Structure 1
Amino acid sequence: MSFYPVPLPELHPSPGTLITIQELTEESHDPERIMVLALNDLAELWKLNLHTGVTERILQTNIPDLNLLHPVQIVISPDGAVAAVSNVYGQHAAVYDLLDGKEILQLSRDDYHYDVSTYPLSFAYIDQRLILIHGTEWNRLDLTDVLRGTSLTVRPTPKYNNDSNQNTDEPGTSKHYLDYFHGKLSVSPDQKWIVDSGWVWAPLGIARSWSLENWLKHVWESEDGASIHKLWQTMDWDLPSAWISPHTIAIWGQVDEEMVDEEDWQEEGVSPAIILFNAQTGERIGVITSVPAFSTTSPVEVVFPHAQAGIAADQDKLFTWRYGLDLYVWNCSTLTCDATTTEVHPQLYHHQARLFIGLSTDAPHQLLAWRYDSNSA
């Protein structure tokens, strides 16, 4: 059997009904501290130790208009010291110090179609500084030094202008105008590249990559910088993605036949696929075909359609799952399927523990775990 359940100790004290969880990797890497960060139905953040079952209430979140009946995201810094929380399709967010149990920042993006793409939030360590990448307007991202609370990308907001040569109230800014709705962000393991799964009117999803190092030197890098690559034009946005190396990201999406050249796909067809890109060069370096489709219909009313699926990478394996359906194991070297199961329904893959973690539907205060054994596949 390739997959088998792993019993977890009972959580104590009970963290209550859990809404969402995220892997929490701490600097110590203590084998007895296999942690997740959870948000419960009281909007409290809790640390949960999967090894011992011991839980710790960290703080009460305070985010304007936070709707716990709608999807919520937790984004954690690489060292596990800081977390950002928001509704996935929300207008407001907050950043919290998980060590001191206090709020650091309140964030907001403008109200223009904010409810149709993921609130852009991601952390990176650059030049020994913890930096938050976050959306501040529908077509604008900023970098903030988390500990100092200062913006590293101060610049005027470009004005829309049909004539790029026409003078505006802010001379010279119209050339940087970006007609693009930022979405789900992902930073490379070496903290040098960022991939954005946003959209443009039609609507169409467009995945873009650019250099974080360049951005610190050139405040307009995320708009029209020299390092930007348009990786993939897709039917959807906020797509599941996972880094399989410092430069290589795998993105799971659906392709419309009108969006690709026939000679580029040949026998690969135009069905759902996982495409491997080099974020540094923009090059497409691999395609996994015969990939199952995922639903984009949210089980929650009035929530914008989005991928009901997850993806994670571990060494030479890529895991994909569709909520409530099946989980696939892909070989990154051969680009073929190694195994599949209908018995594992995770919310996330915990890389440190090498476990799939899910929420129990019978007891919403408990976690379920499964492990994949490649030797028995």
Structure 2
Amino acid sequence: MTTEDLGSTWSSRACPVRPLNDGCLAPMPGHWLALTEEGFVRITDDDQWLVGPVELPEETYEDIRDIPDRPRRGLHTSRDGRFAAVVSDYGQFATVVDLDEWVTVLDLDRDWNDNELTRYPLAFLGEGETAKVVAATDWNRLDVFDLPGRELLTDREIPFPERGQPYPEHYLGYFLGALHPSPSERLLVTDGWVWHPVGIPLAIDLAAWLGGDRYAAEHPRHLADRDDTWDTPIAWVDENTVALQDANGVELWDAGTGRRTGMFTGPAGRMWGHGGLLYVAAEAGLEVWDPAEGSRIGVLEGFTPTAHRDGTFAELRNDQLRTWTTAR
């Protein structure tokens, strides 16, 4: 299947902006934001300009494995484009910036306990007056903060276990990983692991947590036992179905019930869901998969995007910004 069959639109222009890595281009309403050595750069259809610098604290290395290219910077943006977060993926720190006011809203620290094995757990929720950020404040704890006021919305006490004793009630012995909110933000999947080591994606009922169930984050639903696999591409197919990628392909899970609903081989690479399809930035190009059939229905050879916004995919490399928009 060709791009014409997919009903797509291409755009390309010169853009001498160089993100720090493939995790440092993020969507904004109608344009893009890049994290470069100089700081944030806004990128529109016909221009780009430096917003300003941003820094994170130096990492501490009390207990870090020698893994190449870790830690490294990552970039997240809020749906309305007002807030951006720079995170230390496989590291300890993150900071949230109000781009409208150009002030730091939050400085976050998840401690150093085996964090070199997972991306920094952070995701923006809502927009405008409902804007929030959910992020790790310890290796095994998530919190939600109101934006821009940074009020803690999830205050709770969780005793630390004593040596040789069972875990206290609500204690979560789990190393949190990347966060993936569902399209309506009712559910939140985190890609982490438990000792020693087993990858177990968890689904947190965000609606219940923010609705008054104080310890909902400590009592998530287990989706899969993945042996020594975690930190892999994850994407939402629809409001209930989440796609978990591993070396063999993709498994589909109902995050509300914890049931596996399908599986198929083939996809390998960064993955997004849009319009009921999966888009995978594979080695040869952007692949389009129909998860209901478990089949690849198209491929855009030579196009390997690193960011997505409402059906538009962006690739920024070799001083060129290329975007492709699907009609679906």
TM exceeding 0.5: yes
Match runs of 1:4-43 below 5 Å: 6-11=10-15, 14-15=16-17, 17-20=18-21, 21-26=24-29, 34-42=30-38
Aligned length: 311
Q: CA deviation at 1:370?
A: 4.4
RMSD: 2.7
| 1:2–1:372 Cα contact (<8 Å) kept | no
Identity of aligned residues (%): 26
Name the aligned partner's letter for residue 290 of structure 1.
T
**Is 1:248 paired with 2:241?**
yes
Contact 1:231/1:283 (CA < 8 Å) preserved in 2? yes
1:194 to 2:198 alignment = no
Question: 1:119-162 CA deviation, whole Å, 9 max, x = no partner?
Answer: 10011129953221111111111111122212112222431244
Unaligned runs of 5+ in 1: 27-33, 165-172, 255-271, 295-308
Q: Which blocks of at least 5 consecutive residues in structure 2 are unaligned?
A: 60-68
Contact map agreement 2:280 2:287 (CA 8 A) in 1: yes
Residue 99 of structure 1 is matched in structure 2 by 100
Work out whether 1:184 is the aligned partner of 2:188.
no
Q: Secondary structure, in 3 states, of the residue corresponding to 2:14? A: coil
| Partner amino acid, structure 1, of 2:40 | L
The answer as to 2:279 corresponding to 1:285 is no
2:272 corresponds to which residue? 312
What secondary structure is seen at the aligned counterpart in 2 of 1:163? coil
Whether contact under 8 Å (1:23, 1:35) holds in the other structure is: no
Matched residues in 2 for 1:341 and 1:204: separation?
35
1:203-222 CA-to-partner distances (Å, cap 9, x unmatched) read 11100102112112122211
TM-score when normalising by structure 2 = 0.85
Which runs of at least 4 in structure 1 moved beyond 6 Å after TM superposition?
none
> In the TM superposition, what is the alpha-carbon distance from 1:56 to its structure 2 partner?
2.8
SS at match of 1:147: coil
Does residue 56 of structure 2 align to residue 63 of structure 1?
yes
Q: Is the 8 A contact 1:126 1:191 kept in 2?
A: no
Q: Which has the larger radius of gyration?
A: 1
Q: Structure 1's 373 and 344: CA in aligned 2 closer, same or farther, altered over 3 A?
A: farther
Q: Does the 8 A contact of 1:46 with 1:58 survive in 2? A: yes
Partner of 1:274: 250
Secondary structure of the structure 1 residue equivalent to 2:145: strand
Cα offset for 1:231? Answer: 0.6
Letter matched to residue 247 of structure 1: N
Query: Which residue is 1:163 aligned to?
Result: 165
Contact 1:327 1:345 in 2 (8 A): yes
Residue 70 of structure 1 and its aligned partner are, at CA, apart by 5.2
Note the C-alpha offset of 1:372: 6.1
Report the 3-state secondary structure (helix = DSSP H, G, I; strand = E; otherwise coil) of the residue aligned with 2:131: strand
Q: Does the CA contact (< 8 Å) of 2:161 and 2:168 recur in 1?
A: yes
- Using a 3 Å threshold, how does the CA distance of structure 1 residues 359 and 70 change in structure 2: closer, same or farther? farther
Letter of the 1:40 partner, please give it: T
Give me the whole-angstrom Cα distance separating, in 2, the residues matched to 1:76 and 1:316: 23
